[in-house]
Chain A
Amino acid sequence: MKKIMTGNEAFAYGAYLAGIKIGAGYPGTPSSEILYNFARYPGVYAEWSVNEKVALDVCVGAAYAGRRAVMTTKHVGLNVAADSLFYVAYTGLKAGLVIINADDPFMHSSQNEQDNRHYARFAKVPMLEPADSEEAKSFVKYAVEISEAFDTPVIIRSTTRLSHSRTAVNLEEEPVQQAPPEPLAYERNPVKYVMIPAYARQRHPVVEERLKKLAEFAEATPLNYIEAGDDSLGIISSGVVYQYAKEVFPTATFLKLGMVYPLPVKLIRELAERVKQVVVVEELDPFIEEHVRLLGIPVKGKDVFPMIGELSPGRVRKCAQEAGLIPQGELKKVVSAPALPGRPPMLCPGCGHRGVFYALQRLRTVTFGDIGCYTLGAAPPLNAMHTCGCMGAGLGVVHGVDKVGVKDRTVAVIGDSTFFHSGVAPLINILYNKGVSTVIVLDNRVTAMTGHQPHPGSGKTLMGEDAPLISVEEVARGIGFKRVDVVNPYDFRNVVDTIKEHLRSGEPSVIVARHPCVLYTRERYSPYAVNLELCNECGNCLRIGCVPISKVEGGVAIDAALCVGCGFCATICNPKAIYQLGS
């Protein structure tokens, strides 16, 4: 039996089949669906931890205690978890520990396109890279085996085009249900698990020795193999890019790598001996290519294929033709992409974030932002966010700016999930270091951007259970903030007045703007319409950036099919030309 699965569904299925019992992660496109799907298998425990570092520590704990564990993250999440990755690389573990990491070439939904293969080399741990959903499934099992055989965490690297592509997967016999997990006796072994300098010094040689053994393993594992072809080109590739290369170089000899670190030196040499020209086709950095160069093998790679952005079959073919690797042939007559009005993503109709950003636009604050749906407040016509770096950055940045002291009014905005992820520590920092910043928490009760995962402020867990709801305002008060207010973002006057009051006070403060995400709750009311006789074409409603509202002859119109009836546009319409249908 075959079933079509996304790469992420297949990772979850593979984790289940591999006897992994514990999963933890923090959402992040394109990785989020792995844990969501894993949580639905019987006999497993999975959680959305508050951030990736905590998630990895949770999985380390499970693996120390003797249960196989999987941690899931997007590429930048591994930066957050990096400190933990490096210690567990030294300590090793008792049961298998697999980290599934999804990179995002082209930054479809990310702030950078870092190539996380470097983490494998940096932390000295093995990395596998599947090329379709079938491999996504089976590589988790390999990863568990490697992890337990070599006493090391194993990273599996995915990319957007693997995680979010659907390909056929062979369904397997269900794993034999193991006996119910009895509490295990915890094995104490300080020399292995307490990384004080004296013990860590003993572990480092173990890590280096392990890497040598893994390099030998890489030569023999079925994860890496040569596919015979003609002797003109020898292509080295891995991941989904291998699939593109197969289409572009159908007759070439291939070294297909399922394990991208450590690399199989003998196999690479063998390929080089069999062909006239070795070519590495890889996305982002010249990770494999540099390794091949170190072996003294002449190789084509980034001189042919770009280092920036995503590859595609078309891009690989074009580069290969330009470099003369394949005949120019009959260059297909492909028309060029037309220049048409763009359609960037926007805050949804009815989104509560809009009210806060419109207020900030009117107040002309400099706004230090963060990552989430609310980053769209930076887009025209709102233009109301002025920095966005990584999760949790805005609160530290605003404090730094306020310590310098600029003429402008300043605020920081942060989403609720982001607040719990990495906003609490910098909030404490503001108060402790006698800051004056105003922080607005945009609380829509879920992690909206990545697909509505619950978080500590949602009152639910990933397993679907009720959970203690942790209140942002109580956290702020508990830290010691004296000025803390909760506002409804649709109540425009109150939002403006509250922000002004906070800024005027000169003290550090927190405003929680709370309205549940309408895309999640599906909250919908009768749509609004425009009375063109009253409309004075002031343009206010066009400045809130709400898709259903468009300019027409003599005023504006609202597309009733797209309007969810939040009424925010009516609140800010001076001549009161906007009214609710049926009211």
Chain B
Amino acid sequence: MKKKIDFLFAGVGGQGTILTSDILAEVGLRCGYDVKKSEVHGMAQRGGAVESHVRWGEKVYSPLIEEGEADYLLGFEMLEAARWPHFLKPGSVALVNRYRIMPPVVNLGQAKYPEEKEIETILSGAGARVVWVEGAAKARELGNLALAGVVLLGALSSYLAEPAEVWQTVIEEMVPPKFKELNVKAFFAGREAKL
């Protein structure tokens, strides 16, 4: 009997949440889980807030996670991560990329971007453990900011029992061929980071 694990991805349109969550779904399938995932394409992708739901389990019905049920939050952007405490389960883990993209209202000086401490308070208020991941910094070191999501995925993998080889194979199969090596590097940078 496989344990149910629910993963919520939050980020900004264009950050690669869709590909990264597709990889996670495929890893689940290869490891014998029933898998469902859901997200919204279209209008929201033009720089708006986006979210993806990935669910692993023995038998999964709904592609959407229920409020208060997510085991892991993968925040690709700090403000976006802070939007979802109501989906988190007590004892869950929030892996948050230390990276800010200012929304228009903040750019215009009409609202304040929350402090790191506030974000921590919001997420831990739901009983989640907040883990900051230097995804953006690592990705920049590798020369491509778009790799930050795979760094996050690497960090997530260190909490799960599935073997590294499965992750690596799936990543190699699913990313564009010319970015294969970089993505694998980014994955292990995240997996091996001391969190």
Chain A interface (Cβ < 8 Å from any Cβ of B): 2, 4, 29-30, 108-109, 132, 160-161, 164-168, 240, 243-244, 246-247, 312-314, 317, 332-338, 340-348, 373, 376, 380-381, 449-451, 542, 545, 547, 549-551, 559, 561-562
Kindly supply a per-residue 1/0 record for chain B positions 83-114, scoring 1 wherever the CB is within 8 Å of any chain A CB and 0 otherwise.
11110100000000000011111111101111
29 contacts between A and B (CB under 8 A): A4-B25, A4-B26, A4-B35, A108-B43, A108-B44, A160-B40, A165-B63, A166-B22, A166-B35, A243-B62, A243-B63, A335-B86, A340-B79, A340-B83, A341-B105, A343-B12, A343-B79, A343-B80, A343-B103, A345-B43, A346-B46, A346-B48, A373-B46, A376-B46, A545-B104, A547-B102, A547-B104, A547-B107, A559-B102
Q: Is B41 interfacial (CB-CB < 8 Å)? A: yes
Neighbouring B residues of A161 by C-beta, 8 Å: 38, 63-64
How long is the Cα–Cα vector from A381 to B105 in the complex, in angstroms? 9
B66 touching A312 by the CB < 8 A rule?
yes
B195 located at the interface, meaning its Cβ lies under 8 Å from any Cβ of chain A in the complex: no
Q: A381-B104, A547-B104 are in contact. Are A338 and B66 (CB under 8 A)?
A: no
A462 to B143, CA, bound (A): 35
Complex Cα spacing A244 to B64, Å = 8
A337 to B26, CA, bound (A): 30
Least CB distance, B85 to chain A, in whole angstroms: 5
Would you give the shortest CB distance from A85 to chain B, in whole angstroms? 24
**B175 touches A (CB below 8 Å):** no
Interface size in chain B (residues, C-beta < 8 A): 56
Q: Given A29-B42, A345-B45, 17 more contacts at CB 8 Å?
A: A4-B22, A109-B43, A166-B63, A167-B35, A167-B36, A168-B29, A168-B35, A244-B62, A317-B66, A335-B88, A343-B104, A345-B47, A542-B108, A547-B104, A549-B107, A551-B108, A562-B101
Nearest CB to that of A163 among chain B residues? B41
B58 in the interface (beta carbon within 8 A): no
| Nearest-Cβ distance from residue B81 to partner chain A, whole angstroms | 10
* Beta-carbon contact of A345 and B48 below 8 Å: yes
- The complex places the Cα of A335 from the Cα of B105 at a distance, in Å, of 25
Is B68's beta carbon under 8 Å from chain A? yes
* Contact between chains at A2 and B29 (CB < 8 Å): yes
In the complex, what residues of A have CB within 8 A of residue B39's CB? Answer: 164-165
Flag whether B145 is at the interface (Cβ < 8 A): yes
| Given A161-B64, A168-B29, A376-B46, A338:B122 Cβ within 8 A | yes
Q: Are A342 and B43 in contact (CB under 8 A)?
A: no
Cross-interface CB contact of A451 among B13, B41, B68, B85, cutoff 8 Å: B41
Q: Whole-angstrom distance from the CB of A250 to the nearest CB of chain B?
A: 9
Q: Which residues of A sit under 8 angstroms from B44, Cβ to Cβ?
A: 108-109, 345
Docked pose: A513 CA to B19 CA in angstroms: 33
